[in-house]
Structure 1
Amino acid sequence: MAKNHVHTAFSLTEDNGNVRKFVAGEEVPRELVDHWYVKLHTGEAPTVDPGAEAAADELLAELEAKAKALDEREKALQDSQGILGSIREEQNAKALALSEREKAADQREADLNARAEVLDGREVAIANREKAAEAAGKDANQQGRRQGK
């Protein structure tokens, strides 16, 4: 059997300066087989077991089935991501609406507190007027009693 099967990739510079690159699994041309550097990187081609091809076909079929399953999972994940994106947008819109409601409630509370302060001030003023009126009435009664004596 010819020993021109490349088992390790290499580059060979020929006498004319041309650089030839060889990759593993490639066959070297017969005119270069006897070159000392080529011999370091070549050997007999591996023998192929007839059962290996059937096993390779089985493995290939298994890999194709797994690739199909992965594609289906990827599509399911993309669908789930789309659904999650929609839910996220919906939740963000709800959070924004809730934030606006909270701001409005805070403003209403501030307005009510301001009104309460105004009303408290009015109540104090009314209470002061009532006390003053009551005091004035007592003074008038006492002066009337003094004058009537």
Structure 2
Amino acid sequence: MAERSDGLAGAGLGLRRALLGPLLSAENPQADFLEVAPENWIGVGGRLGRQFRELAARQPMVLHGLSLDIGGPDALDTNLVKAVRALMQDIGASLYTEHLTYCAADGHLYDLLPIPFTEEAVTHVVERVQRVQDIIGEPIALENASYYAQPH
């Protein structure tokens, strides 16, 4: 794998709260970076917040969001995007990725649903990606959704 300009390369590990202690006590981490769902760490303080930030100081982290709703019809949640930017700055994360899905409709659906394969959907997503990147101040990456039936 080619190394990115920010030094990220190799294999990552999805960070779960139960891994904080073992990762903090490990002398030589086996993962090259940690993948973090920002929704799980925005606003977390106390012992868990301190451990999370200590780990972030030791090991590179990338953010992989779960609920941006980049392809959805609801208004873009700019408060979430601003909170993601603040977390990125706080822990020194240089990469934010999301799912190319919709996951809200007047409330969070708790599922990552595929978007239609239309030019209208592309135009909609492009505008939203540009807005997110303007707020974040960095390019973002999108992960395709798995699906079993195409929405019409």
TM-score scaled by length of structure 2: 0.14
* Greater share of helix: 1
Structure with the larger strand share: 2
Larger radius of gyration: 1
